Every structure is written in structure tokens, then in C-alpha cells.
Amino acid sequence: MYALDEMGGGASLSDDVKSRLAECVFGHPCAYVLFAYLESEPVGLITCLLSLSTFAAKPILNVHDIAVRPEVRGQGIGRALLAAAESLALELGCCRMSLEVLEHNPARRLYAAAGFLGCEEPATRPRTYFCTKELDGLRNSSEGPRRP
């Protein structure tokens, strides 16, 4: 559901990814997944990954995915998921929470209201860029890693 949304890329996950996802997430030692239910129906989830602040020598909880079914958006489910994640972060002794959000994602207002800085213009802190480097091609190489 979350991948099909425009903010999740607008396309279904591949069958390969779908077949491995649950085992990968629930087997990850630093992953936390919280679910939201309405009348015993799953309507949302938040996936968080524990990281580390070397500046504070404490953990950071990164909100990696948050999704609410379109038909129940606007009912406070996203806010409740963020609050539950914040409670988890406090329980884990985290010094901060983090997330990345696309500029045109309307959830930026929710994140700003929940206390995340830099979600609304003007930014209250210097702009942070989320940079990635894809490694799938390197992992599939038969040569393996090279050491200096």
C-alpha cells in the first residue's frame, strides 16, 4: 500500500522484494515496526531504524516509512503513529528522531506539527540533504570487495 502511493514511488514492490520484506525487516536487529488499527483492521504503520549519534553518544530513531491507508487519512492516525514512535525513542534512550520527506509531500505539515524541524519553509535549521549511493551493482560483482 505504501509503495503504491505517489509518495512511495507510485509502483508496487517487486515480487522478489515482497517475498523477502517481512523476514528482512523483522530479522533486522535495529528495526521497529508499529501498526495502527481501527476496529481490528490494520490502517497504518511506521517503520523505524535505530542509528547512533556519535556527537551525543546516544541512539537516534529514524522514521524510515510511515503510511496510512488513504481512506482513513486525516483522522489522527499518522499523529498517533509518530507519538508511539516518540515514546519508543524515549524508552530506548534516544537523543533525537529523524526522518526524510519529499518537498511536495503534504505530510510535512504533520511532521512540523509533531516537532520535526526543517519540514516547513523557512527552515529553522540549515537544509539537510539526504544522499544515497546504490550498492546492488557492487554486491552482484563476482570480484568482491577491494581493499586498499
CATH code, domain carrying 22: 3.40.630.30
> Does residue 78 fall inside a structural domain?
yes
- Tell me, what DSSP letter sits at residue 31? E
CA–CA gap between residue 139 and residue 8 (Å, rounded): 24
> Does residue 146 fall inside a structural domain?
no
End-to-end CA distance of the chain: 43
| Residue listed under C-alpha cell 509502483 | 11
pLDDT band at 120 (very low <50, low <70, confident <90, very high): low
User: Given a cut of 80, is residue 3 above it in pLDDT?
Assistant: yes
Q: Give the range of the structural domain holding residue 82, as residue numbers without chain letter.
A: 6-139
- Tell me, what DSSP letter sits at residue 102? -
Q: What is the pLDDT of residue 15?
A: 92
105 vs 70: which has the higher pLDDT = 70
> Does residue 1 fall inside a structural domain?
no
pLDDT tens for each residue of 39-91: 999 999 999 999 999 999 999 999 999 999 999 999 999 999 999 999 999 99
> Does residue 129 fall inside a structural domain?
yes
> Cα separations (Å) of 117 from 92, 108, 125?
21, 10, 7
- For the chain, the average pLDDT equals 85
Domain count, the chain: 1
> Does residue 147 fall inside a structural domain?
no
> Does residue 98 fall inside a structural domain?
yes
11 vs 8: which has the higher pLDDT = 11
> Does residue 144 fall inside a structural domain?
no
Q: Which of 5-9, 15-19, 87-91 has the lowest mean pLDDT?
A: 5-9
Question: E strands along the chain, which residues?
Answer: 31-38, 41-53, 58-68, 96-99
Q: What is the pLDDT of residue 16?
A: 93
Q: Which of 7-11, 64-68, 129-133 reaches the highest mean pLDDT?
A: 64-68
